Amino acid sequence: MSTINLVKGQKIEIGLTKVSIGLGWTPNEGTGHDFDLDASAFMINEKRLIPGESFFVFYGNTDSGDGALRHTGDDPTGGNSADGDDEIIEVDLKKVDPSVTEILFVVTIHDALSRKQNFGQVRDSYIRIVDHASGNEVAKYELGEDFSIETAVEFGRLYRNNGAWKFEASGIGYREDLSFFLSKYFKGQIIK
């Protein structure tokens, strides 16, 4: 089975229950500071809100409360591998809480404003879906756009559609940090 190379906005049916979402990037040299990019997953319901704190998965909360998502760990330098995924979120779609209708995969640049960093200084950014059982790459979306001022990017999203899970290559840039997404999807809920 060959990899599907996705374009922005393209949607595909997953057809699998256990996948790994691999995210990768390569910071440009000579920017003065190390780049610390962080992958996060926001599990949201039909009201476009996170049902609770355990449905926000990132390096500080590596496992979702329903046991469906697991972040394998933070890569503070983008150097986990020269030619592989920098951060991985494992997903078991059978375990996703029934209230969750969508899972957003977002990458933010830690301390982007103080370090004067943005995605224009990052190259070879991608999100890919890997069949957890076989290790085969199912689909890959490479961010070809120039995000010259953006400090966060929604790379892609898994969403329920008529009982099946689909994936959409999003490629939506933001000039925001992680707190923006937390306030957007937690709306009035207590964040510790």
Dist CA 107 CA 87 (whole Å)? 10
Q: Does the pLDDT value for residue 124 go beyond 50?
A: yes
Residue 176 near residue 151, CB atoms below 8 Å: yes
Total domain count for the chain?
A: 1
CB burial string 4-16: b at 16+ within 10 A, e below: eebeeeeeeebeb
Residues in the chain: 192
Per-residue pLDDT tens digits for 45-95: 999 999 999 999 999 999 999 999 999 986 555 444 456 898 999 999 999
The boundaries of the domain holding residue 105 are 4-186
Q: How far apart are CA 123 and CA 116, in angstroms?
A: 16
Look at residue 38 and tell me if it is in a domain: yes
Position 120 in a domain: yes
Q: Is the pLDDT of residue 115 over 90?
A: no
Domain at 77, CATH number: 2.60.60.30
What is residue 31's predicted lDDT score, i.e. its pLDDT?
A: 60
Q: Is residue 122 one of the residues assigned to a domain? A: yes
Is 173 contained in some domain? yes
What phi, psi does 178 have (nearest 5°)? Answer: -60, -35
Q: Is residue 81 domain-resident? A: yes
Q: What is the pLDDT of residue 188?
A: 56
The pTM of this model reads 0.89
**What pLDDT is attached to residue 191?**
47
**Coil, strand or helix at 180:** helix
Tokens 């983008």 belong to residue: 78
Residue 192 lies in a domain: no
Residue 81 one-letter amino acid? S
Is 144 contained in some domain?
Answer: yes
Domain assignment of residue 191, yes or no: no
